[in-house]
Structure 1
Amino acid sequence: MTKKRIMMVAGEASGDDHTAGLALELKRLLPEAEFFGVGGERMRAAGVETLIDISELSVMGLVEVLKHYRRLMGIVERLRQVLRERRPDLLILTDYPEFNLKLAETAKGLGIPVLFYVSPQVWAWRPKRVKKIGARIDRMAVLFPFETAIYEQNGIPVDFVGHPLADHVQVTMSREEARAALGIEGPGPVIGLLPGSRRGEVQRLLPVLIESARQLRERYPDARFPLARASTRAESEFLPLLAEAGLPIELVSGQAQTVMRASDAVITASGTATLEIALVGTPMVIVYKMAPLTFAIMRRMMTIHHVGLANIVSGEEVARELLQDDATPEAIAAEVERILEDDAYRERITAKLGEVRGKLGSSGASRKVATVAARMLGTC
């Protein structure tokens, strides 16, 4: 059997995590396979040759993408050339649809099979994209059970594999043990800060989170604020603002789930982190800011009422969402205070978050999608 060549492309931190898990499972099935593409620290650790680091793709929002369009298209062209020259036996694209679907189109033209892992949120906005997606890919692997019908109705081969977080997020420490692991002592409340994994998210949300912490510190003088840094963001993006703030905000790297577990409440950017926090079981407030024009356009295109994945999976607003102009330090601090002070409110949130795990499917998502990929390669 000839050695299989598999190209993998992830565009952000959560995609790096998911694709790394997939790569490890594929290596067990195909120990001689060659893996290369776009990724970050997790994919490199899993043995994927990263031709381009994930940090170069860290752009979010319509307006933001336009600003970086020429640079991003340059990266697309470099990857198209890789497809032409190295001719992988399979192209696996994880999320990041606007970028990845351009590569899918090129791969289809070259006769390279395409597996798309993590469906674009066609159920949330621009549902007519499904036909375009179907014309460019060979198979879709989805994380949520309600997504399968969308692709089946359009004649697109689809597999529900479940969410990798169902495997990766396991509560193994008590809150006290998590605090000890972070070096947090004292009786004051612990409020976790997660400003996101993209450059634009951090730039917009970090000042708001710092000011929210300042207001909460006035109400709770003993409060502590561990801040989880995503692997895609450098410490230099945080340190100047944190030093200027003069608050007990401690930058924590590589221990996001420990921060979630140690906290009495978490202030988080919308994204995959909201699902992680839900699985850990910590009450949260979800915040987000983007370019005003991007927000206005996306609001018109959206077909659902919530943006936080934890709320979408729950089917209701379990965690309060404060978006755009509503994401003020005053509103954020007030919501955290309510979580800390209102026992009934906090217990309701915790109970609803406890239902999320059951809605993410059974365990073994990485193994299941690896089996799908192996079938596409004709080895399983």
Structure 2
Amino acid sequence: MSANKPLTIMLSAGESSGDQHAAHMFLELKKHLPDIRGIGMGGAVMRQAGIDIKVDSSSLGVIGLIEVLKHYREIRAALMRMKALLQAERPDLLVCVDYKEFNLKLAQFAKKQGIKVLFYVSPQVWAWRSGRVLTYGKAIDMMAVIFPFETAYYEAEDIPVRYVGHPSVDKVRPLHDKEEDFRRFQLDPTKPVVGILPGSRMNEIKRMLPVMLGAAEKLRNDHPGMQFLLPQAGSIDDRVLQDYLQQTAVPINVIKNQPYDVVQCCDAVMTTSGTASLEIALLTVPMVIAYKLASVTYWLGRILVKTPFIGLPNIVAGKAIVKELIQHEATADRLAEEIERLLSDQAYRQAMINELQAVKEKLGEGGGSKNMADLALQMLRERQ
């Protein structure tokens, strides 16, 4: 590196959670290297952190074979732009954040260019296609994992790996106390509050929000005073959300940019799987997980996926502590039934809270973003 040229780190994140993880890690890195330059692919949170976004990923976060095929041209174009950016900029380090298949291809290309690769958030090799450990091992210089049990899969193949901790442990912090949030959101503390978390991707909204709103209608019919909160993901456009909300007579209080304050106010939550379910677990709020995929994707998953769970709280616990309603089971009736039980069956409710507390303890004290920044700093110094 030239003494006059600032260090450059390139980050690649294709989904809302990755956008946040990359942003927090970059802000921690800047504490050590104030002049470091960040470029790459991401969304609004990375841009706010000072990263120069060359490829906007806000429409790229899709899950499932059919969904990926529908967006194939857009995803391929983004990959080509990122490869061109790698060649033009030749960053001192490429940090691939989640978005597994896309980032694997980008990492493989970077490796051929002699650019160091740090992969953040391991593919779920413990769930399916464990042979991918070797594939990723050939494309990276370091794998940073967010669950402690993941290191063994890489160590077994002599692939450099570091457990950095889950970034959500640090991130999941309400901005206000619960009593203040009740005032701010104009909630009645004598009536139950139910959270609706339909996901941060457009295809999740399309499949899950109508079902969740249907459940809300059933619950509201039985409990006229029940209150509903929906924390709007930054990746979801206002107009898209309103198109669905206008189709229900149930009053839904939509709150922007305060997901943890919303969740802490809830007596129970219906949520999609993924990072959101783990964040609800960290707040120890009872929940039900529901998810739908395209039929082809679902049946392929049934064949290929080895883990019996899709919800991260259950995966971390190693047992079913939260009800999962998948595909044909994800109906308004079943969702309403589970929420009703979480609100009325105190023994059932408390047992889940206790198990969620155990999950929180398993994830440790946090420091994920700082540990990740320290690891990136170490690799940058080795590069010089």
CA deviation after TM superposition for structure 1 residue 177, in Å: 3.0
Confirm whether residue 182 of structure 1 aligns to residue 185 of structure 2.
Answer: yes
Distance 1:54 1:355 in 2: 35
SS at match of 2:58: helix
- Asked if the contact 1:175/1:263 (under 8 Å) is kept, the reply is no
Q: Deviations over 1:262-321 (max 9, x none)?
A: 100000010101111011111000000010100100111111111101111111111100
CA deviation after TM superposition for structure 1 residue 176, in Å: 3.2
Confirm whether residue 277 of structure 1 aligns to residue 280 of structure 2.
Answer: yes
CA deviation after TM superposition for structure 1 residue 181, in Å: 2.6
Q: Quick one: which amino acid aligns to residue 144 of structure 2?
A: A
Distance 1:317 1:172 in 2: 31
Distance 2:124 2:240 in 1: 29
Q: Which moved more, 1:225-234 or 1:162-171?
A: 162-171
Distance 2:177 2:296 in 1: 43
CA deviation after TM superposition for structure 1 residue 174, in Å: 4.8
Aligned to 1:212: 215
- Asked if the contact 1:188/1:220 (under 8 Å) is kept, the reply is no
Confirm whether residue 119 of structure 1 aligns to residue 140 of structure 2.
Answer: no
Q: Are residues 13 and 218 of structure 1, via their aligned partners in 2, closer, same or farther at CA, if it must alter by over 3 Å?
A: same
Q: Quick one: which amino acid aligns to residue 354 of structure 1?
A: Q
Distance 1:139 1:186 in 2: 49
Give percent identity, aligned residues only.
46
| Alignment partner of 2:266 out of 253, 263, 266 | 263
Aligned to 1:164: 167
Confirm whether residue 201 of structure 1 aligns to residue 204 of structure 2.
Answer: yes
Task: Report matched runs for 1:235-274 at 5 Å.
Answer: 235-274=238-277
Q: Deviations over 1:56-114 (max 9, x none)?
A: 31211111101211221111001110011111110000001011111101101100000
Q: Quick one: which amino acid aligns to residue 27 of structure 1?
A: K
Q: Quick one: which amino acid aligns to residue 95 of structure 1?
A: D
Two-structure CA RMSD over aligned residues (Å): 1.4
Aligned to 2:194: 191
Confirm whether residue 75 of structure 1 aligns to residue 59 of structure 2.
Answer: no
CA deviation after TM superposition for structure 1 residue 42, in Å: 1.4
Distance 2:369 2:289 in 1: 27
Distance 1:179 1:148 in 2: 42
Confirm whether residue 23 of structure 1 aligns to residue 26 of structure 2.
Answer: yes
Q: Are residues 70 and 54 of structure 1, via their aligned partners in 2, closer, same or farther at CA, if it must alter by over 3 Å?
A: closer
Distance 2:51 2:89 in 1: 15
Q: Quick one: which amino acid aligns to residue 269 of structure 2?
A: V
Distance 2:359 2:44 in 1: 28
SS at match of 1:37: strand
CA deviation after TM superposition for structure 1 residue 173, in Å: 5.0
Deviant stretches of 4+, over 4 Å: 171-174
Distance 1:77 1:171 in 2: 39
Q: Quick one: which amino acid aligns to residue 25 of structure 1?
A: E
Structure 1 length normalisation: TM-score?
Answer: 0.97
Q: Quick one: which amino acid aligns to residue 133 of structure 1?
A: Y
Confirm whether residue 319 of structure 1 aligns to residue 322 of structure 2.
Answer: yes
SS at match of 2:246: helix
Q: Which moved more, 1:361-370 or 1:319-328?
A: 361-370
Aligned to 1:89: 92
Distance 2:371 2:121 in 1: 13
CA deviation after TM superposition for structure 1 residue 164, in Å: 1.2
In structure 1, list runs of 5 or more residues that go unmatched.
Answer: none
Aligned to 1:43: 46
Aligned to 1:65: 68
Q: Quick one: which amino acid aligns to residue 56 of structure 1?
A: S
CA deviation after TM superposition for structure 1 residue 248, in Å: 1.2
Q: Deviations over 1:188-226 (max 9, x none)?
A: 211000000111101100100110000000111001111
Q: Give the total of aligned pairs.
A: 380
Aligned to 2:312: 309
Structure 2 length normalisation: TM-score?
Answer: 0.96
SS at match of 2:157: coil
CA deviation after TM superposition for structure 1 residue 32, in Å: 1.3
Q: Quick one: which amino acid aligns to residue 257 of structure 1?
A: Y
Distance 2:170 2:77 in 1: 36
Distance 2:96 2:365 in 1: 23
- Asked if the contact 2:111/2:139 (under 8 Å) is kept, the reply is yes
Distance 1:72 1:170 in 2: 33
Distance 1:110 1:179 in 2: 54
Aligned to 1:338: 341
Aligned to 2:150: 147
- Asked if the contact 1:171/1:280 (under 8 Å) is kept, the reply is no
